[in-house]
Amino acid sequence: MKRFSLEGKTALVTGGSQGIGLALAEALAEAGATIAYNATSPESLEKGAAAYSKAGISATGYVCDVSDENAVRKMIAQINKELGKVDILINNAGIIKRIPALEMSVEDFRRVIDVDLTGAFIVAKAVAPGMIERGGGKIINICSMMSELGRETVAAYASAKGGLKMLTRNLACEWAAFNIQVNAIGPGYIATPQTAPLRENGHPFNNYIVAKTPAGRWGTTDDLKGTAIFLASSASDFVNGHILYVDGGILAYIGKQPQ
Ligand code: NAP
Ligand code: GCO
């Protein structure tokens, strides 16, 4: 349907070589967009290249750490030259360090904020001038359940994702005048390499999270695809500063009564 078409658009998906980023890039490509993605190492880029080629998608990869402003500027200049100005940015790159707050070093805390929060700001700021020149654009930040909730061991991650929620709202306010819609997807618990340690056989978190999810299962990366297309397309042109949670109902649920 034309309203959801991304034909003629260039999309950058950060951290697009695996997991959620790869799936969202596939979705945007399916809707017609040209894909650029980045990763932190040539090995990771290669892994992404193999996955895109298997899916029959032509995607251009760049080695770039989103927390390094100079590297990001260079990458965006290269994308502008090779693929055209970025119309759609998905700020997906992210890390998590599961360490109890009392044991977490300040360096670890800062690194998570640097990648998950400051990195999103750096990339958004680098693509915005091109979007303004083109008359508009779409920025989609990947938030989390931890944009709303806390739990043991994820103080830095929750701080970053809570901050990312407010960065989304703030940039939405500042850039709406340029016809740039800034929104976010808040995925629930999704089966990817990031959550693999929590899904290992017999890990108590596995049953716990399924019980906390009204849908009764882990999410898949496919579950997020339609939402990404919506937020990247003209169908969402009057949606500004919204965090769309795709969580199987976790945030709506008080939890099961103990038996
Ligand atoms: P993942 O499988 O670990 O993938 C993360 C991606 O981010 C990797 O491709 C990684 O590239 C890239 N990345 C990490 N640090 C980077 C940096 N400094 N610069 C550029 N790229 C970097 O994780 P995922 O589960 O797909 O998560 C993707 C995003 O969704 C993250 O922001 C995560 O916090 C968020 N999220 C995940 C879930 C979930 O349940 N899985 C739920 C809510 C939100 P390299 O391989 O090169 O390091
Ligand atoms: C954790 C998880 C989460 C998820 C996700 C939830 O340790 O609790 O890794 O933080 O990855 O972001 O939405």
Domain range summary for the chain, segments of one domain joined by +: 2-191+218-249
Ligand nearest to the backbone CA of 219: 1
Ligand 1 atom nearest to 187, measured from its CA: 43
Record the pTM.
0.98
For a pLDDT cut of 70, what percent of the chain falls above it? 100
Across residues 55-64, what is the average pLDDT? 98
Whole-angstrom distance, CA of residue 195 vs CA of residue 206: 10
Task: List, for residues 136-170, the tens digit of each pLDDT value.
Answer: 999 999 999 999 999 999 999 999 999 999 999 99
DSSP letter string, 80-106: HHHT-S-SEEEE---------GGG--H
Task: List, for residues 63-108, the tens digit of each pLDDT value.
Answer: 999 999 999 999 999 999 999 999 999 999 999 999 999 999 999 9
Ligand 2 atom nearest to 161, measured from its CA: 12
Nearest partner of 93 among 73, 74, 121, judged by Cα: 121
> pLDDT band at residue 258, thresholds of 50, 70 and 90?
confident
In this structure, CATH architecture of domain 2-191+218-249: 3-Layer(aba) Sandwich (3.40)
The alpha carbons of the chain give a radius of gyration, in whole angstroms, of 18
Query: Of these residues, 37, 52, 62, 157, which one is catalytic?
Result: 157
Task: List, for residues 184-200, the tens digit of each pLDDT value.
Answer: 999 999 999 999 999 98
